[in-house]
Amino acid sequence: MTPGCVAVEPGQRVVVRRRLSPQEAAQARSLGQGAVWTDIIALVVSSDLQGLTVVSDAPRQAVSQTLTLAWDQVEALKPIPPRPVRRADGSWTRGDKATAGS
């Protein structure tokens, strides 16, 4: 089941904290980075009793990645708001809220 029994729906934007594989952990250690977890901003593709499939949705990531994670790899899962959209006038919007931008 999902960590903390968080219900997620396909298309929902989430942040997933997942455990690194032994190979990823070794590479992270060699680069002087953390070697246990990584966070992913993603859109849910599907979830079932075995795990979660997501497509990465980080703002600065040029290419999206599809990841299928078993629940024992997922340390935390949290729904987050949709990605903000920048308007032509320089302001930002998220749904029905707008904020001044620069």
pLDDT, residue 4, reads: 57
- How far, in Å, CA of 83 to CA of 79, rounded? 12
DSSP characters over 15-78: EEEEEPPHHHHHHHHHTTS-SSEEEEEEEEEEE-SSEEEEEE--TT-SS--EEEEEGGGEEEEE
Assess whether pLDDT exceeds 50 at residue 98.
Answer: no
- How far, in Å, CA of 50 to CA of 27, rounded? 27
Cβ-Cβ contacts under 8 Å for 55 (sequence gap 6 or more): 42, 43, 45, 64, 65, 66, 67
Predicted confidence band of residue 101 (pLDDT cuts 50, 70, 90): very low
pLDDT, residue 2, reads: 53
pLDDT, residue 94, reads: 64
pLDDT, residue 99, reads: 47
* Domain boundaries along the sequence of the chain: 3-99
The total number of residues written for the chain in this structure: 102
What is the maximum span of the chain, computed from C-alpha positions, in angstroms? 47
DSSP characters over 11-25: T-EEEEEEEPPHHHH
Question: How confident is the model over 10-64, as pLDDT tens digits?
Answer: 999 999 999 998 998 999 889 988 778 889 999 999 999 999 999 998 777 788 8
